[in-house]
Homo-oligomer: A and B are copies of this chain.
Amino acid sequence: MNNNTDVLENLIEEFSKLPQIGRKTAQRLAMHITRRPKEDVEKFSRALLEIKDKLRFCNVCCNITEYEICRICDSPKRSNNVICIVEEPQDVLAIEKTNEFKGKYHVLHGIISPLDGIGPNDIKISELLRRLGGESGSEVEELILALNPTVEGETTILYLSRLIKPLDIKITRIARGIPIGSDLEFADEVTLAKALEGRVVV
């Protein structure tokens, strides 16, 4: 006999569908909800709906936004000369936090992964090409590939660099190396090799 009430079971199931939330955590979260005041739960419920009602992809960079064109693409302070290509919207947030990048972005919403059946047409590559061929496309001098250094990331980098080569735009990728605060001793060989390879003059 499952002793959970159907309503509770229902919410536990919904929480379980979230990434990296197992059955036990889902149960804890659902129990937490039962203890919250009704207004709080309604606020949470509304926040969920609004995501689908109000969010869309930016017409230019495909980042998620409430507007036709996102704040970054719309900003006159950001340069059109450099486009940083990332896998997911959260990568934009991560890079924005560094306060180091003043160009624009392009969000692929995925990465080429033949094993998962994700090909070039399943991510926002045609949107990137349209953008490079469009009005402001001639301004673009550099594409920074800020993709994860995984097999899929490498595949995507290879694919994009071949695809874009004829356009005569400089293509770079972010450095692979030892993370700040980390210890050489604990770095894996590949990272260490890439760190050596990517050494810079001090």
Are B96 and A3 closer than 8 Å at their CB atoms? yes
Task: Give the distance in Å from the alpha carbon of A25 to the alpha carbon of B20 in the complex.
Answer: 9
On chain B, the residues within 8 Å of A27 by CB distance are 90, 93
Are A7 and B54 closer than 8 Å at their CB atoms? yes
Interface string of A17-57 (1 = CB under 8 A from B): 11111000101111111100010111111111111101100
Interface string of A82-106 (1 = CB under 8 A from B): 0000001110110010000000000
On chain B, the residues within 8 Å of A29 by CB distance are 18-19, 21
On chain B, the residues within 8 Å of A89 by CB distance are 31, 34
Closest partner residue, chain B, to A35 (CB atom)? B109
Any chain B CB within 8 A of the CB of A123? Answer: no
Are A31 and B88 closer than 8 Å at their CB atoms? yes
Task: Give the distance in Å from the alpha carbon of A20 to the alpha carbon of B29 in the complex.
Answer: 9
On chain B, the residues within 8 Å of A32 by CB distance are 18-19
Instruction: Indicate the member of A8, A28, A47 with the most B CB atoms within 10 Å.
Output: A47
Any chain B CB within 8 A of the CB of A197? Answer: no
On chain B, the residues within 8 Å of A38 by CB distance are 52
Set B1, B30, B47: member contacting A10, Cβ < 8 A: B47
A residues neighboring B (CB under 8 Å)? 1, 3-8, 10-11, 13-14, 17-21, 25, 27-34, 38, 40-52, 54-55, 64-66, 71-72, 88-90, 92-93, 96
* Given A18-B32, A33-B48, 12 more pairs with CB closer than 8 A: A3-B72, A4-B93, A5-B65, A13-B47, A17-B40, A17-B44, A19-B29, A20-B25, A27-B90, A31-B88, A38-B52, A45-B46
